[in-house]
Structure 1
Amino acid sequence: MRLTEFWARMDHHLGPAYARTWAETQVVQELGGRTVDQALAEGEAAKAVWRAVWKHLNLPASER
């Protein structure tokens, strides 16, 4: 998954304005207690980060 697809999915589920703020501030346990921004900055694959966000937000299986 490319970062552009990752951010498109984030924007779709959280809204374009809130997605970036959420990524900066929300600690996701599935990411080892890091934020989305921290995980991406530390080299975590966008696909792995999306799966963690998907699980954290309890999104439908079709969105995985």
Structure 2
Amino acid sequence: MKLSEFQRAVSDEFGSSYGQALMADLVLGELGGRTPQEAITAGIPPREVWLALCKETGVPPSHWYGAGKPAPKA
């Protein structure tokens, strides 16, 4: 997962405002007590941060994989 895909996935799943709040404020124990933004800055792969965020916030597993990818062109 690229950083841009991660950002798109957060926005698509949580909306722009709430997604930004989660990135800045939600501390994830799975990522060493970091917020998602701190984890990304520390070099943790976006896919790992995405999965930890999904687990912590109760995102259904059906939304975990392929999130952030643009829709295929027709």
Residue correspondence of structure 1 range 1-64 to structure 2 within 5 A: 1-64=1-64
Give the ranges of 4+ consecutive aligned residues of structure 1 lying more than 6 Å apart after TM superposition.
none
Higher strand share: 1
Higher helix share: 1
Does 1 or 2 have the higher relative contact order (CA < 8 Å, sep 6+)? 2
Q: Aligned pair count?
A: 64
Percent identity between matched residues is: 33
Report the RMSD for the aligned CA atoms in angstroms.
1.0
Q: Which structure has the greater CA radius of gyration?
A: 2
Stretches of structure 1 lacking an aligned partner (at least 5 in a row): none
Q: TM-score, normalised by structure 2?
A: 0.79
SS at match of 2:43: coil
